[in-house]
Amino acid sequence: MKNIELINIAEQFGTPIYVYDSDKIKSQFFRLKNAFKSIHNLRINYAVKASPNISILKFLNNLGAGLDTVSIQEVELGLKAGFNPKKIIFTPNGINIEELEEASKKNIQINIDNLSVLEQFGSKYPDCPVCIRINPHIMAGGNNNISVGHIDSKFGISIHQIPHLLRIVNNTKMKINGIHMHTGSDILDIDVFLNASEILFSAAKEFKNLEFIDFGSGFKVPYKKGDLETNIEELGKKLSSRFTDFCKDYGKKLDLYFEPGKFLISEAGFFLTRVNSIKQTTSTVFAQINSGFNHLLRPMFYGSYHEILNLSNPKGNERFYSVVGYICETDTFASNRKIPEIKENDILAFKNAGAYCYSMSNNYNSRYRPAEILWYNNKANLIRKQEDFNDLISNQVILNF
Ligand SMILES: *Cc1c(COP(=O)(O)O)cnc(C)c1O
């Protein structure tokens, strides 16, 4: 999207506001599809938790995507967006069995990551096909909050527990139709991914009635200049040929699934804010914007870097700023950041604001969650209104003292 289009949106709809460029979502979707073009039964399941707006889900449904969901509410959002339940996979962790039962009654593909739950579910519903989430114990990179494949991780069934898993499957006569891994966000190294895939292939051989193998996600996208990103094209070449060979050995053409969130939508998103004030202190210059970690948590939660553009003065002399919010809490978006000179009322845009940004927003300090815009057909379409005071109090039960 062009700067002028973003400025117009900020003028027309106000700030703070999230904007998603549907052309970028589409090009990322087809980039992944093309990388695996030799695989005819490829399924790209968008990870709803990255950005769960129903209009975005509908857009992805039209492209041919399926969904990866982690709660029954995300399943409901997918159904509301018109997805065929067969194209929704449910990969929760730490939930109770009733939530799994609810999803399976809606014909959603269940993915189980816990032996105790597997045994309970298999004993009760031996005819309901189930996918299993394996933890291959491969570190995919990234920090500890977003790596989920290591030995102490709570995610998945350890690869070392396969004998126990097989015993449950044999005893209950349940059907395993898929095998899954998700080694966490931020895969830097293709070889790490391929090593984990080999572990998954060797586990897959133990199950005779598979229909698909799900390689999860964790593809890395660049957040700043010089960042490494997953070379999807190279991964596509290497994994496709290995997958095709595996299917020959296995004696059946399986479907290949991925479930990217970040890869599809991170770079499509912009978060637009306005500068409330400039504050000089003894040590720095603060640019204080009309937002905080209530709207964009990633810099404070993960130490994530989001590039910041000054849309109002893109060619100005660069100076060093600490960009902070208006929340009564330390909410630093960036410190010692070189940005073209900022004045009060300037519009600052955060890049890579598509994934895990709006979806992690909250009402701290009783602020409203922002509006969302989908840029589609060269037009700004409002896909979520900003909250108002009624949203803050609608569930409060006010006592009459
Ligand atoms: C979050 C999640 C994803 C998506 O991860 P990204 O890093 O956004 O691509 C995929 N699968 C599962 C099971 C997840 O929990």
The 10s digit of each residue's pLDDT in 260-275 is: 999 999 999 999 999 9
Ligand 1 atom nearest the C-alpha of 186 is: 7
**Amino acid 239: pLDDT:** 96
Nearest CA to ligand 1 atom 8: 261
The Å distance, Cα 130 to ligand 1 centre, comes to 19
Q: Which atom of ligand 1 is nearest to the CA of 261?
A: 8
3-state SS record for 313-381: CCCCCEEEEEEECCCCCCCEEEEEEEEECCCCCCEEEECCCCCCCHHHCCCHHHCCCCEEEEEECCEEE
User: What pLDDT is recorded for position 140?
Assistant: 52
Task: Give φ, ψ of 134 to 5 degrees.
Answer: -100, 140
| Ligand 1 atom 15, closest CA | 70
Q: Distance between CA atoms of 90 and 109, rounded to whole angstroms?
A: 6
Predicted pLDDT of residue 281: 94
Query: CA torsion, points 64, 91, 202, 150, in degrees to nearest 10?
Result: 120
Question: Going by DSSP bridges, is the β-strand pair 269-280/285-289 parallel, antiparallel, or unpaired?
Answer: antiparallel
What pTM did the predictor assign?
Answer: 0.95
Distance 183 CA to ligand 1 centre (A): 9
**Ligand 1 atom having least distance to the Cα of 111:** 13
Please state at what angle helix 72-80 crosses helix 97-105, rounded to 10 degrees. 20
- Residue 204 pLDDT more than 90? yes
Average pLDDT in the 228-240 region?
92
The mean pLDDT value of the chain amounts to 94
Per-residue confidence at 153, pLDDT binned at 50, 70, 90? confident
Distance CA 58, CA 161 (A): 39
**Per-residue pLDDT averaged across 50-60, rounded?**
98
* Residue 169 clears pLDDT 90, i.e. is over it: yes
* Residue 150 scores a pLDDT above 80: no
DSSP string for residues in 158-215: EGGGHHHHHHHHHHHT--EEEEE---BS-B--HHHHHHHHHHHHHHHTT-TT--EEE-
The CATH H-level superfamily of 22-264 is Alanine racemase (3.20.20.10)
Residue 2 is predicted with a pLDDT of 94
> Is 133 buried (19+), middle (13-18) or exposed (0-12) by CB count in 10 A?
buried
* Residue minimizing CA distance to atom 6 of ligand 1: 261
Q: What is the rounded average pLDDT of the residues 92-103?
A: 94
Domain positions in the chain are 22-264, 269-387
Which of 61-81 are b and which e, b meaning 16 or more Cβ less than 10 Å from the residue's Cβ? bebebbbbbbbbebbebbbeb
Q: 269-387: what fold?
A: Lyase, Ornithine Decarboxylase; Chain A, domain 1 (2.40.37)
pLDDT per residue over 357-396, tens digit each? 999 999 999 999 999 999 999 999 999 999 999 999 999 9
Percent over 70 (pLDDT), the chain? 96
Q: Choosing from 128, 131, 328, 357, which is the catalytic residue?
A: 328
Active site residue 328: yes
Residue 110: pLDDT band with limits 50, 70, 90: very high
- Mean pLDDT calculated for residue range 56-63: 98
Does 16 sit behind a cis peptide bond, omega within 30 degrees of 0 on the bond before it? yes
Report the C-alpha gap between 116 and 114 in whole angstroms. Answer: 6
Q: What is the pLDDT of residue 228?
A: 82
Query: In this model, does residue 147 exceed pLDDT 60?
Result: no
pLDDT of the residue at 154: 83
